[in-house]
Amino acid sequence: MSGLTHFDAQGRAVMVDVGAKPETDRAATARARVVMQPATLALIREGTAKKGDVLGTARLAGIMAAKRTAELIPLCHPLPITAVTVDLAPEGEDSVAITATVRTTGRTGVEMEALTAASVAALTVYDMVKAVDRGMRIEGLRVVAKSGGKSGDFRQD
């Protein structure tokens, strides 16, 4: 299993020992998109969804999720997160774009926290309007930027 850090020599899953790594400022940004019917997006834009403020609720859910990533992903380290932002914005006439950025000063990166924040925000959008649009799709979940640590900076669209 050469090159995979979460496996030992016997192929067993292990938590990586980051104790000897230096603390550095780290950040990661993830994006996702929820595609829906134009009428569903209109409800969100107008603030008339039956469950309330869809974008505000999804923003809070994403922030809360980032803080609990280590409880959800088995080999993630619990991290002292210093900041989480989750931005949701209508995009075109049929989707909501989600961007989540997480920051820490630590020994390991926050890519998983950013991905968790974006995905839970997307799931929350789905949950809040699924009664009117069961055909929604969550698409394009990915890390678009990371900084800090030994591997340096990474960016993609």
Q: Looking at the annotation, which residues are catalytic?
A: 127
Question: In terms of DSSP bridges, do strands 24-35 and 137-147 run parallel, antiparallel, or are they unpaired?
Answer: antiparallel
CA 105 to centroid of chain Cα atoms: 18
List C-alpha distances in Å: 122 to 72, 77, 98: 16, 23, 7
Which position has the token pair 């924040």? 117
Q: Which of 13, 6, 18 is nearest to 149 (CA)?
A: 18
56: CB partners within 8 A, 6+ apart: none
Q: Following DSSP, what letter does each residue of 57-92 receive, concatenated?
A: HHHHHHHHHHHTHHHHSTTPPP--EEEEEEEEEEET
